[in-house]
Each structure stands twice: as C-alpha cells, then as structure tokens.
Amino acid sequence: MELELFFLGLVLTLAFVAATGFYPGGIIVPGYLVLFVNQPLRIAGTLAAALLTLLIYRVASRSLILFGQRRFVFLILTGALFSMLSTLLLPSISPEAVEFTVIGWVIPGLIAGHCERQGILITAAATSIAVAALFFLGKLWFLIF
C-alpha cells in the first residue's frame, strides 16, 4: 500500500510541477507527507524543522559562500541534524512530544531548499495542494484496485 502511494506521489508531483512550474517541496516530499497525514503533529514538526533549517541557512549564508551543491548539502545536513535532534531529544522531554518527531532525514532540507527558491508561501501552498490531491487520488486508487 505504501509503495503504491509513494509511486502515485512521484507521478502526481511530476505532473503538478509540469502543470504549474512550482515544486511542492521536492519531488518526493508529497509522497512522504501523505504517508503521515493521519499524524498531523509529525507533519507540523517536519515543517518546523524545515523553517528552522531555512533560518539557519539565511544566517549562515551571510558569512559563508553557499550556492549550488554546497547550498543543497548545507540544507540537507541541517535538516538531518534537526531530524536527529527531534528523534533523540523529544522522547526524553515528554511521551507526548514524540508526536512532533520529524519525518525522514532529507525532507526538512528539501522543503527548506524550495522555500528559499520559491518563497515560503508558494512552497507551502504547492505542498498542501499536492498532498491533498495525492491523499484523495490514493483513496480513489485503493477503492478501485
């Protein structure tokens, strides 16, 4: 079930990008987020990690030369750091805080990268539309097949 939904996510995201020109946080992001649509706090934790990653990038880019591959690697590593910290620290804070654990290691960095390129509002809107469309397409897919 998850594999089919992830595959549908790749196809839908490619079609979405071709139709609109906007990336929903990356080609794989809607597929991952829709797998956790029943855990909205994990999605919120992931988006918070992406925004913190973007903030750190903007501060660091004032004194570091970050473009191209360096920019991409910086964003991915910073997002992975927040993912690791959420996995290690949140369970020790409170059992309820585990619900804010970041989804994946790469997802926050990908979202932050597209927020930097397109703007936060456009990326958030594109991601929301793609995830909602994938959610309903997935429901339809599993209803038929």
pLDDT class of 117 with cuts at 50, 70, 90: very high
For the chain, the domain total comes to: 1
What span, in angstroms and rounded, lies between the C-alpha atoms of 96 and 133? 30
For 31, other C-beta atoms within 10 Å of its C-beta total: 24
pLDDT class of 28 with cuts at 50, 70, 90: very high
What span, in angstroms and rounded, lies between the C-alpha atoms of 137 and 45? 25
pLDDT on residue 1 = 75
The boundaries of the domain holding residue 18 are 2-144
pLDDT class of 2 with cuts at 50, 70, 90: confident
pLDDT in tens, 92-115: 998 889 999 999 999 999 999 999
What span, in angstroms and rounded, lies between the C-alpha atoms of 91 and 95? 6
What span, in angstroms and rounded, lies between the C-alpha atoms of 37 and 135? 8
Name the residue with tokens 């079930």.
1
Mean pLDDT across 64-81: 97
pLDDT class of 121 with cuts at 50, 70, 90: very high
More confident residue, 1 or 37: 37
At 103 the three-state DSSP class reads coil
What span, in angstroms and rounded, lies between the C-alpha atoms of 99 and 40? 9
Mean pLDDT across 12-21: 98
Burial 102-117 (b: 16+ CB within 10 A, else e): bbbbbbbbbbbbbbbe
Residue 20 has pLDDT above 80, yes or no: yes
What span, in angstroms and rounded, lies between the C-alpha atoms of 34 and 36? 5
What pTM was computed for the model? 0.95
What span, in angstroms and rounded, lies between the C-alpha atoms of 93 and 101? 12
Q: Which structure tokens are listed for 1?
A: 């079930």
pLDDT on residue 45 = 97
Mean pLDDT across 86-95: 92
What span, in angstroms and rounded, lies between the C-alpha atoms of 30 and 25? 8
pLDDT class of 145 with cuts at 50, 70, 90: confident
